Amino acid sequence: MIVRRYLMKEIQMGRTLKILSHLPISLHPRPLFHGASATALDQEIQALIQFDKIPQRDLYDWNNLLFHYSRNNLYREALNLFLEIRRSHVPVDAFTLSSLLKVCSCLSDQMLGKQIHSFCIKSGFEADVSVGTSLVDMYMKINAVEDGKEVFDRMPERNVVSWTSLLAGYTLNGMGDLVLKLFLQMKVEGVKPNPFTLATVLSASAAHSVVEGIRVHGQVIKLGFESTTFVCNSLVNMYLKSGLIGDATAVFAGMENKDAVSWNSMIAGFVLNGFEMEALELFYQMRLAGVKLTQSVFATVTKLCSNLKELPFTKQVHCQVLRNGFEFDNIRTTIMVAYAKCGEMDDASVLFSMMDGLQNVVTWTAIISGYLQNGRIDEAVDQFCEMSREGVRPNHFTYSTILTASPTISPFQIHAQTIKTNYENSSSVGTALLDALIKIGKTQEAGIIFEQIDEKDIVAWSAMLAGYAQVGDSEGAIKLFCEMHKEGLWPNEFTFSSVINACACPTAAVEQGKQLHGSLIKFGLENAICVSSALVTMYAKRGSIESAHEVFRNQEKRDLVAWNSMISGYAQHGCGKKALEIFEEMESQDLELDGITFIGVILACTHVGLVDEGDKYFASMIKDHHINPTMEHYACMVDLYSRAGKLNEAMDLIREMPFPAGATVWRTLLGACRVYHNLELGKLAAETLMSLEPQDSAAYVLLSNMYAAAGKWEERAQVRKLMDERKVKKEAGYSWIEVKNQIHSFLASDHSHPLSHRIYAKLEELNAQLRDAGYCPDTNFVLHDVEEEHKETILSQHSERLAIALGLIITLPGVPLQIVKNLRVCGDCHTVIKLISVIEGREIIVRDSNRFHHFKGGHCSCRDYW
């Protein structure tokens, strides 16, 4: 009767063929459906047939069928059967309601669950321990945690299953910290945990407190559950998620019965912690042990393929996936990603095309990302456009990925799309968008995007800080960093790295960098490679080469950035031999060198006049390290020859370059021609530079200065006239000094400072002391056709002298002064500052456009070679 009624209902629902296909073969000539999709329905029909044969059914029979439905995902059928039970006036029991509550939890139907809860109360079953436990389980699974806890608290009797349901519910809802407290309460109440309880608590410990997890491990041993496979699996999982590889390995090795989950947990844990080769070895052992490969295992191993980037292994795994019939969408996508990371985009593309009609946003994003990783940007953009034509809507991962193709694809264009699809305020999309804008120099627009992000995570803050660092806005970076701190976000190593890089710019306050270093120590991040390398760079660029070297020596691990920063730092400070010692130490450790390394090395040779050594290193870079020289390398070599007065050799190198010399090369040569008064070659360099960069003032200024030094005032006037006609503006010479976190800037002959009277009085005092020390002004550095006396006045009011005078006035005696100048220090000022360092007994550090000068005791670190 039940079967007949069921079939009539299914006919009305349009499932006739499906039902008929599963009737016994005598009732149908041939089956219409086969395989796993037919099995559940076949079981359903067989259960109904068996049930219909029972002449007099009692509650036991009804419960059996209801239990069958609830355990085989036949939830609608279970609800219909419960209604049939009620219509038949069969009294229900706790077992009936427990089965029905499981159906409610699986359907995530909160309203239905509360209706059944009301029925439990009316029927007097809420106090039953099994029904109460089922109610707790249901409420936890439908995300009604408070309701579940309320039911639990009202239960007159609670057993270990009740407690386990409560603990599992809190774990499921991400409230692991409460799980550990409740577990303690459970033990206080004298309830002995079972293996399922311990596995649940271990799962919570993996996310919150490994210390508590270790204590639970002790209880596992004490209660004799160390041989229970799924408990050991939970232990392995907890230790691996906490990074305790040795403990996880020890548990795994001691397991008597390892199942596929055990092996997969270990392999996945090794991959998670970056132990790819150990994961590969374990996978090999798993194969030798004859463990059946599951979908989860293949999902993990295909991720391993992506990390290892080993094409033969990827192809072997792909074959195994096909052989075992596990080519599900997630595994196929991961294999496609692995091929892309191995550089085999053609194989990845073939795999993608085989998914025709089954591609979703995940697979489209994966193939786009693959093309981008392999430098095939145009194809990535084409795929993104094709995805839109196919009607597949991009998600936040897609937008974040395609934004890395900027500027091939306009970030403004993607921004418009994100607004249309309501992703513009997403943290990941907003971060990728502001990063793309920063890379094309649109920092202001990036700041607007940053403000619009709803929930800014640490990545978004770090990206914005990196933008400020890129444009050298240290003030903006510090302000943003403080704002982040007020928001309660915990900075990570990348955040600190970005803000420290911002503090390395010349206009940044020195003390800000030192304060950040202190914060690093407070947060325990001073040993992070990217942070310590940023500190080396910052200290070197801010004039404290000793501090840079101290950080460098204290680094536990050094990356290429740290080595290069130390070499370049010593070079900029005129410590050429120390720079070369660092380079030799670097070579002895067989580290891979890059082009930046050799720029630092050649620069070190340049600043101390080691021409032959510079030649040797340049040749070694090409022959031994197979690094093709760039324009910057040639500019460094031209600088090396030019500073040493070897202008012909510099010109020969320019002619031998494999590509036309750029503006940097000609500007370098022109500067040397001015120093060595080579007017003919200087004129050639200046004219070439003017043709390459007509708006660059350097060519005009240097050439006019050369004419002035030679007394050719007419030619100088013509150059100045040309400059005016082309509306080229000369860069003003600025000097600035930082005192008590305040930066004071000066122009030549500047009277705008509030302490201007005291500054000029100090200069007069110094001029008198300089004359007593035998100083005679070198008016050749004044390139104006004026009286000699006026030339001396002009020299005495250069911007760096004003900055030094202020420093001497407002700092305590003996405190070192640090001056920054945007142009090169003139020869006369260089002589004067050496004498002031003796007169005042001060160390004076001057950073000009070329390098650092450390003046102390009447000497300069450059040894008058700059």
Of 81, 50, 55, residue with least CA distance to 67: 81
Predicted pLDDT of residue 406 = 79
Residue 513 backbone zone (phi > 0: left; psi -120 to 50: alpha; other: beta): alpha
Say if residue 785 is in the same domain as residue 772.
Answer: yes
Mean pLDDT of 305-320: 86
Percent of the chain scored above 70 by pLDDT? Answer: 91
Say if residue 742 is in the same domain as residue 717.
Answer: no
Phi then psi for residue 462, to 5 deg, are: -65, -40
Phi then psi for residue 846, to 5 deg, are: -120, 125
**What pLDDT digit, counting tens, does each position of 775-790 carry?**
887 766 654 544 555 5
CA distances in angstroms from 30 to 20, 25, 26, listed in the order given = 10, 7, 9
Output the six-digit token pair for 240.
């691996």
Give the confidence band of 515 by pLDDT, cuts at 50, 70, 90.
confident
Predicted pLDDT of residue 52 = 55
Residues 682 and 678: their CA atoms lie apart, in Å, by: 6
Residue 676 sits in a domain whose CATH number is 1.25.40
Residue 358 has pLDDT above 80, yes or no: no
Phi then psi for residue 228, to 5 deg, are: -80, 120
854 lies in some domain: yes
Amino acid at 717: A
Residue 59 has pLDDT above 80, yes or no: no
Choice between 748 and 508, residue whose per-residue pLDDT is larger: 748
Choice between 788 and 21, residue whose per-residue pLDDT is larger: 788
Mean pLDDT of 159-184: 87
Residue position matching structure tokens 């790295």: 497
708 lies in some domain: yes
Of 508, 546, 519, 573, residue with least CA distance to 743: 508
Residues 799 and 805: their CA atoms lie apart, in Å, by: 10
**What pLDDT digit, counting tens, does each position of 577-589 carry?**
999 999 999 988 8
For the chain, the average pLDDT equals 84
Give the confidence band of 394 by pLDDT, cuts at 50, 70, 90.
very high
- Whether pTM exceeds 0.75: no
Predicted pLDDT of residue 49 = 53
Task: Output the DSSP codes for 716-748.
Answer: HHHHHHHHHHTTPPPPPP-EEEEETTEEEEE-T
Of 506, 467, 451, 564, residue with least CA distance to 803: 506
Say if residue 845 is in the same domain as residue 741.
Answer: yes
Residue 509 has pLDDT above 80, yes or no: no
Choice between 84 and 25, residue whose per-residue pLDDT is larger: 84
Give the confidence band of 316 by pLDDT, cuts at 50, 70, 90.
confident
Residues 742 and 847: their CA atoms lie apart, in Å, by: 18
Say if residue 713 is in the same domain as residue 749.
Answer: no
Q: Are 460 and 427 in contact (CB under 8 A)?
A: yes
Predicted pLDDT of residue 804 = 95
118 lies in some domain: no
Residue position matching structure tokens 């940023």: 534
HSE-up of 517 (CA within 13 Å, CB side)?
19
Of 816, 799, 807, 680, residue with least CA distance to 731: 799
Output the six-digit token pair for 278.
């150990």
Q: What is the 3-state secondary structure (H, E, C) of 771-802?
A: HHCCCCCCHHHCCCCCCHHHHHHHHHCCHHHH
Output the six-digit token pair for 47.
């259960």
- CA-based angle 764:768:772, to the nearest 5? 165
Stretch (H or E) spanning 743: strand 742-746
Give the confidence band of 10 by pLDDT, cuts at 50, 70, 90.
very low
Predicted pLDDT of residue 297 = 85
Say if residue 781 is in the same domain as residue 843.
Answer: yes
Q: Are 128 and 158 in contact (CB under 8 A)?
A: no
Give the confidence band of 438 by pLDDT, cuts at 50, 70, 90.
confident
Residue 598 has pLDDT above 50, yes or no: yes
Phi then psi for residue 856, to 5 deg, are: -160, 130
Strands 852-856 and 844-847: antiparallel
Say if residue 808 is in the same domain as residue 851.
Answer: yes
Predicted pLDDT of residue 83 = 81
Enumerate the β-bridge partners of residue 844.
817, 855
24 lies in some domain: no
249 lies in some domain: no
Residue 33 has pLDDT above 70, yes or no: no
Say if residue 656 is in the same domain as residue 756.
Answer: no
Residues 311 and 303: their CA atoms lie apart, in Å, by: 13
Predicted pLDDT of residue 629 = 94
**305 CB contacts (<8 Å, ≥6 apart)?**
313, 314, 317, 334, 335, 338, 342
* E strand intervals along 354-460: none
552 lies in some domain: no
Say if residue 741 is in the same domain as residue 845.
Answer: yes
**What pLDDT digit, counting tens, does each position of 666-678 carry?**
999 998 898 888 9
Question: 247-251, 472-476, 590-594 — which is least confidently predicted?
Answer: 472-476
Percent of the chain scored above 90 by pLDDT? Answer: 31
Q: In a 10 Å sphere around its CB, with 0-12 CB exposed, 13-18 middle and 19+ buried, how is residue 318 labelled?
A: buried
Domain boundary among 697, 712, 731: 731
Give the confidence band of 574 by pLDDT, cuts at 50, 70, 90.
confident
Give the confidence band of 232 by pLDDT, cuts at 50, 70, 90.
very high
Give the dihedral sign, CA 236/241/244/246: positive
Of 832, 781, 769, 783, residue with least CA distance to 803: 832
Domain boundary among 731, 761, 781: 731
Phi then psi for residue 646, to 5 deg, are: -90, 70
Predicted pLDDT of residue 837 = 94
Residues 551 and 538: their CA atoms lie apart, in Å, by: 11
- CA-based angle 194:196:200, to the nearest 5? 120
Domain boundary among 712, 731, 750: 731
Strands 735-739 and 817-821: antiparallel
Range of the domain at 774: 735-860
Residues 347 and 311: their CA atoms lie apart, in Å, by: 10
**What pLDDT digit, counting tens, does each position of 518-570 carry?**
888 888 888 888 888 889 999 998 888 999 999 999 988 888 989 999 999 99
717 lies in some domain: yes
Say if residue 664 is in the same domain as residue 722.
Answer: yes
Give the confidence band of 38 by pLDDT, cuts at 50, 70, 90.
very low
Predicted pLDDT of residue 357 = 67
Residue 247 has pLDDT above 70, yes or no: yes
Residues 642 and 636: their CA atoms lie apart, in Å, by: 10
Predicted pLDDT of residue 313 = 86
Amino acid at 225: F
Residues 203 and 808: their CA atoms lie apart, in Å, by: 65
Say if residue 769 is in the same domain as residue 656.
Answer: no
HSE-up of 120 (CA within 13 Å, CB side)?
27
841 lies in some domain: yes
Of 553, 559, 567, 558, residue with least CA distance to 596: 567
Q: In a 10 Å sphere around its CB, with 0-12 CB exposed, 13-18 middle and 19+ buried, how is residue 649 labelled?
A: middle
Say if residue 815 is in the same domain as residue 776.
Answer: yes
How many Cβ atoms are within 10 Å of 631's Cβ, its own excluded? 15
CA distances in angstroms from 654 to 603, 692, 702, listed in the order given = 18, 15, 20
Give the confidence band of 56 by pLDDT, cuts at 50, 70, 90.
low
Say if residue 744 is in the same domain as residue 850.
Answer: yes
Give the confidence band of 31 by pLDDT, cuts at 50, 70, 90.
very low
Give the confidence band of 18 by pLDDT, cuts at 50, 70, 90.
very low
Domain count, the chain: 2
Residues 242 and 417: their CA atoms lie apart, in Å, by: 40
CA distances in angstroms from 380 to 371, 545, 765, 782, listed in the order given = 5, 45, 69, 58
Residues 628 and 721: their CA atoms lie apart, in Å, by: 42
Of 152, 154, 818, 161, residue with least CA distance to 510: 818
Residue 400 backbone zone (phi > 0: left; psi -120 to 50: alpha; other: beta): alpha
